[in-house]
Every structure is written in C-alpha cells, then in structure tokens.
Homo-oligomer: A and B are copies of this chain.
C-alpha cells in the first residue's frame, strides 16, 4: 500500500475494493529528479498529481522575482482532487528531492468518486486539510514572529509526517535550503539563518545537513503556539 492510500485510509474507512481501486489508479508512476518543475503557472491541469515518495512544494513567483512557497508536499499528498475543473493553475509546483509521482486523469478521479462515497469523502477531506494548512500559514506569516514561524513549520511537518506514519521519533530529513525556508515563511535568508542558530543555541531544535532534530518538543510547540487540532488527526 503506497503512502497515498495509507493517508486516505487514515481519514475514512475504505473497503478493500476502495483500496485496490486507489492503488490501481496510482500504479503507473513517474520518477522526477530533484529541483524539477512539475506544474507551471498557467498550465492547463489535465490530471491530479499525487506524490508517492519525496518532497515537493507549491509556490508562486511575482513578476519582479520574489517567490513565496505556499506549501510543502510530502509523500501521500495530492494536489486538489478537483483541479481539472480549472482552465489553468495559478501556481507552480516543483520537486525538492527525487520524487515518485502518479497522475490520475479526470476520468479516473471522477470514476473513483462516483464509485465510492468513502473515496469521495476522503478526497474532500484531504482538500479540507490542505486548506486548513494554508490558513495556518496565513496566520503564521501574518502574526507569528520569525522564531515562532520556524517553530510552527517544524511542528506542522513533524505532525504531518507522524500522521502519515513516516517517522517514529522527533526528527526527520528536511530536504530544503535555508532560502527555501525563508521563502516559505516570508523572511530573508539571512534572518532565517540567524533565527535557526538561536533556536539551536537555546536547545529547541537543530537543523544540520538537511536533517532536523527536535530536542525539546514541548518547548517548540509552546514557542510556536502550535495546536495540532487544525490538522485533524483521526483516532
């Protein structure tokens, strides 16, 4: 069972047939190297993309070069399940690591949703959580200080990886540069660097060699004003 089916299963009760149908729909995979574009702003969306392995991100570029990363996509994540309703997408997507992805055509997605209410619900649930995450990013960037923002992002990803069953302890590979972090959190690279050093100094987390270790989870969550309820972990 791939990460995608596993995640959907954590949302709702899927029958064995549902799981088989989902697995079949994401059977044909494609390998993409790191730092490759997957979807470009303006593209016509003809398929729903699913990340099976690796990290990717959504982002937007402003004309003058400023970039905002909108979200990190982890194994099991999908783009909007009804994206094919749009004439064009308004943001881009690129890989961060080598990625294994699958694409489901509109026909496939509609077939899955018509066949099974549970699958339909699971897709909608996933979309809801994706939106919740986006809203929490708005809160972070709008209200949280730089240290709180970094802390919150680390907490979010820890929780998401944990929900997906991809990690056990309080550490994970975080395959992004400090500039990526900066562009995700709406701060400068230099300031991101200094804030990370400060968090390291006070013993909250250390991020070295693209690996994040959380030394004081409670302290990190307290600093971040992190409340995991918005991620709607089940059971």
Footprint of B on A, CB under 8 Å?
42, 58, 60, 62-64, 66-68, 70, 80, 82-83, 85-88, 90-91, 121, 124-125, 127-128, 130-132, 134-139, 141-144, 183, 185-186, 225, 229-230, 232
Contacts and interface: CB of A to CB of B under 8 A. Distances in A.
Contacts of A229: 42, 88, 90
A137 B86 CA distance: 19
Nearest to A231: B90
A132 B85 contact: no
Copies in the complex: 2
Contact of A135 (B70, B139, B142): B70
Query: Top 5 nearest A-B pairs by Cβ distance?
Result: A142-B186, A90-B230, A82-B124, A68-B139, A66-B143
B232 A87 contact: yes
B121 A85 contact: yes
A143 B225 contact: no
Contact of A68 (B58, B60, B88, B143): B143
A138 B134 CA distance: 8
Contact of A143 (B62, B131, B132): B62
B131 A130 contact: yes
Nearest to A130: B131
A192 to B, nearest CB: 13
B83 A128 contact: yes
A142 B153 CA distance: 14
Contacts of A82: 121, 124-125, 127-128
A11 B134 CA distance: 23
Given A88-B229, A134-B134, A138-B70, A80 B186 contact: no
Nearest to A125: B85
A60 B135 CA distance: 9
Nearest to A81: B124
Nearest to A64: B225
A125 to B, nearest CB: 5
A58 B136 CA distance: 12
A28 B181 CA distance: 47
A192 B232 CA distance: 34
Contacts of A134: 131, 134-135, 138
Nearest to A66: B143
Given A70-B135, A80-B128, A142-B185, 16 more contacts: A60-B135, A60-B136, A62-B139, A82-B121, A82-B127, A85-B125, A86-B232, A88-B229, A90-B230, A91-B135, A127-B127, A127-B131, A131-B134, A134-B134, A134-B138, A142-B183
